[in-house]
Chains A and B, each alone.
Chain A
Amino acid sequence: MSQRIRILTMLTLLLILVVGAGATRAQDSDLSVALIIAQGGLGDRSYNDSAFAGLTLAAQEFGVDVVPIESSDPVGEGEQLLRAAAEAGFDLVITLEFSHFDPLARVAPDYPETLFSIVNIVVEGPNIVSIMFDEHTGSYLAGALSAMVTTDAAVPNTNEDVVLGAIGGVQSSGIDVFLDGYIQGACAINPDISVLVAYSNGFGDPATGRELALAMHESGADVVYQIAGGTGQGVIEAAKDTGFWAVGVDSDQDYLAPGFVLTSMLKRVDIAVYDLIGRLVAGELEGGTVAQYGLAENGVGISDMTYSRHVVPRAYTDRVNELREGIIAGDISVIDTRVISEEQRTAFYSNRTCAGIQDLMSSMGS
């Protein structure tokens, strides 16, 4: 068995060398950074590519050696990948793969000289930096914009119902944080609004996404937020075919159906990766910390609305900017439903409305 691991490690190292030979070389820093690519791989035009863009930019700006590590099975080979990267002597090993939280907790103590970083989950350890995003605040802005648009008959693709929709891939705290932020933003603008919520039970089924979005549209929703990966592509197609608004997620999806995607909630992994390397170079990066990327850091936010800004009144985007400033200043608090208690969660999810949000807020004493 150990023989096999050794061979695997050697093969991985060889791969790193081959890939590394093509990577950017610069002289002004002798630091090196490895980026382990998550499922979906490079070329996904979303999460992985975004992180890689940040990595490339950091290599140019700071002159560090950077190496992306791709694997055909990043989930199954988690431990080998992390070990191989640490053995190869990188100063910072960033993994984009969420499922590496378990192997990372095992591997990191064996390499105290190496800094590790993981995205979307907090892993404890003196040499681990966890990168987290405030998906709830970014979604809050998208919800606020949607709520303003749905009652404005002058905006195309809207109806008279004060109803929005949100579709999640599966019900989990990582998905619900988007949905709950969206509901909070919508309720902040219009406490009488209702936000329909449904789950497609998967991230790769656009046909189901389409039917689910149509069902929401039939129930009066004219803006539908999708947090459902490939299933969400069907939501956007339904919006285009039937004439309502979709809201994209993670990357700027406005171009997928120009004029039918109101905006996209951006999660800027590129900024996080770039920033992380910048702090490494400056000698400020410390393990055992959580790097939180929110509105202030431009880690989350809404897209530039390239194809919708001309039909959405300026006053609405100004209002969204005010809300953004308010959240950054701390005047507006948005609840992160990942960190509420079990009782609060049960109470809120049995009444996921504006009134439910009010109850949740008062139970949290804010």
Chain B
Amino acid sequence: METLDLIVNIAASTLRLATPLILAAMAGLLSLQVGQVNIGLEGMMLAGSFAVVAFGFWLGSTWMGVLAAILVGVALAALFAFVVTRLKANLIVSGLALNLLASGGTAYLLEILFNTSGTFSPTALQSLPNLSLPVLSDLPLVGRLLFNHSPLVYVSWLAIPLTALFLYRTIPGIHIQAIGQNEEAARSVGIPVRRRQYLALMIGGALCGLAGAHLAVGDLALFREDMTAGRGFIALAAVYFAAGRPRLSALACLLFGLFEALQFRLQLASSIPPQFFQMLPYVMVVITLAVISARKEWRKGWS
């Protein structure tokens, strides 16, 4: 019973930790598929975290804050799309600029709008209420594992099949893949390249806004400077290792969450230096994905 309890705790922690990563990874893979890799995921998330707290506080509704976070994410993504497609700016530089803008901009706005620095946690702001279903949420272990999370956790689960469906089963999605593979060829057959690029990046902006909102008000109810703490880059790494495939990217994010949840508990149970455990999630994700793609390659070679 106790072991079962521990497993459920670790699994539930995994799902919570993976949520912002999955949302950001879906955004990252859309940008990769359309050939305009956005390393500004981190910045769009952070702006989302700030927006959800600021607007949630002003409007007196956390859900309105979530809407604002999505809009801010979309607006920043549109700015990024404009800069890299119309102005033909370098992708890396533009993405970095986006991150710096978000990091410095949110710290600055915190100062001038709320007269504070570091952390902003208005008491009036509520975190999003956990899902509470009759019967299901009260089930002993399954309820805790599956039916008792913050609402955006479920949004992240939905985002995975929806992203796959969009990319592989809709016309704009197939256009996006074509553009990523060869922009000139796509243009020559009449695909509206720039419109599709804007579309892919702006959907990504919305997803990053949601990811940031989850970080700030999913389980907490506060904004902290640079609270995204590198999650945008971890999500991007997951996307690259999974070669831009939605389900595999999400799996990488879940793995990362799992090993993060594990390392927290391993630190408590052992006197091995904590740095060893802190490194685990990164190492394990690299190893697992390397094995997965190696197996794929072997199969190709055999057949």
Verify A198–B229 contact, CB threshold 8 A: no
A204 touching B227 in the complex, CB below 8 Å, given contacts A199-B274, A199-B278, A230-B119 = yes
Over the window 1-31 of chain B, the binary record of Cβ atoms lying under 8 Å from chain A Cβ atoms (1 yes, 0 no) is: 0000010010001001100100000000000
Q: Is the CB of B116 within 8 A of A171?
A: no
Considering the complex, give the chain A residue whose CB is closest to the CB of B265. Answer: A215
* 8 Å CB contact of A207 from B118, B119, B227: B227
CB distance from A182 to the nearest CB of B (A): 15
B247-267 to A contact mask, C-beta < 8 Å, 1/0: 000000000000011001101
Query: Cβ of A351 < 8 Å from any Cβ of B?
Result: yes
Contacts of A45 in B (CB 8 A): 116, 118
Asked if B182 is at the interface of the complex by the 8 Å CB criterion, the answer is no
Complex interface residues of chain B between 208 and 227 (CB less than 8 A to chain A):
215, 219-222, 224-227
The verdict on A352 contacting chain B, using a C-beta distance below 8 Å, is yes
Given contacts A218-B9, A233-B222, A256-B121, 13 further A-B contacts (CB under 8 A): A40-B118, A46-B118, A196-B268, A198-B264, A205-B229, A207-B220, A211-B260, A211-B261, A215-B13, A215-B261, A237-B221, A241-B219, A350-B271
Inter-chain CA distance A21–B51, complex, in Å, is 37
Q: Does B188 contact A (CB under 8 A)?
A: no
> Considering the chains assembled together, what is the distance between the CA atoms of A233 and B17 in angstroms?
17
Count how many chain A residues have C-beta atoms less than 8 Å from C-beta atoms of the other chain.
Answer: 37
Q: Is B111 an interface residue (CB 8 A)?
A: yes
Number of interface residues of B (CB under 8 A): 35
Provide the bound-state CA to CA distance between A219 and B267, in Å: 12
User: Which residues of chain B are within 8 angstroms of A202 by Cβ–Cβ distance?
Assistant: 229
Indicate if B303 sits at the interface (CB-CB under 8 A): no
Is A43 on the interface with B (CB-CB < 8 A)? yes
Would B274 and A171 count as touching, CB distance under 8 A?
Answer: yes
A212 at the interface (CB under 8 A from B): yes
| A63 lies within 8 A of chain B by Cβ | no
Q: Evaluate contact between B267 and A199: CB separation under 8 angstroms.
A: yes
User: By CB atoms of chain A within 10 A, which of B16, B20, B116, B271 has the most?
Assistant: B271
Chain A facing B: main interface SS? mixed
Q: Are B264 and A215 in contact (CB under 8 A)?
A: yes
Shortest CB-to-CB span from B144 to chain A, Å, is 11
> Which of B17, B221, B226, B229 has the most CB atoms of chain A within a 10 A radius of its CB?
B229
Least distance between A44 CB and chain B CB atoms (Å): 5
Decide if B273 is an interface residue (CB 8 Å cutoff).
yes
Using Cβ atoms and an 8 Å threshold, which residues of chain A touch B6?
Answer: 218
Q: Cβ of A207 and Cβ of B116 under 8 Å apart?
A: no
A201 near B: Cβ within 8 Å? yes
Question: Are the C-beta atoms of A206 and B264 separated by less than 8 Å?
Answer: no
21 contacts between A and B (CB under 8 A): A41-B117, A43-B116, A44-B117, A45-B116, A45-B118, A165-B268, A171-B274, A197-B268, A204-B224, A205-B227, A206-B220, A206-B224, A210-B219, A211-B261, A214-B13, A215-B265, A218-B9, A230-B118, A230-B224, A234-B220, A241-B127
Task: Establish whether residues A237 and B222, one from each chain, have CB atoms under 8 Å apart when the complex forms.
Answer: yes
Is A119 engaged at the interface, CB distance under 8 Å to the other chain? Answer: no
**Does B264 lie within 8 Å of A204, measured CB to CB?**
no
Q: Which of A165, A199, A206, A349 has the most C-beta atoms of chain B within 10 angstroms of its own C-beta?
A: A206
Which residues from chain B contact A210 at a C-beta distance below 8 Å?
A: 219-220
| Contact A206 B222, beta carbon cutoff 8 Å | yes
Instruction: List residues of chain A with CB within 8 A of the CB of B268.
Output: 165, 196-198, 215-216, 219
Whole-angstrom CA separation of A44 from B215 in the bound complex: 22
Closest A residue by C-beta to B225: A204
Q: Are B267 and A44 in contact (CB under 8 A)?
A: no
Q: A171-B275, A204-B229, A237-B221 are in contact. Are A211 and B264 (CB under 8 A)?
A: yes
The reply to whether B271 and A352 contact each other, CB–CB distance below 8 Å, is: yes
A207 to B257: give the CA distance in the assembly, Å: 12
* A202 CA / B275 CA spacing, docked (Å): 12
Closest beta carbon of chain B to A343's beta carbon, Å: 16
Rounded to whole angstroms, the CA-CA distance of A205 and B224 in the bound complex is 8
Chain A contacts of B222 at CB under 8 A?
206, 233, 237
A157 contacts the other chain (CB 8 A)? no
Contact between chains at B275 and A40 (CB < 8 Å): no
Asked if residues B13 and A233 are in contact (CB atoms below 8 Å), the reply is no
A169 to chain B minimum Cβ distance, whole angstroms, is 11
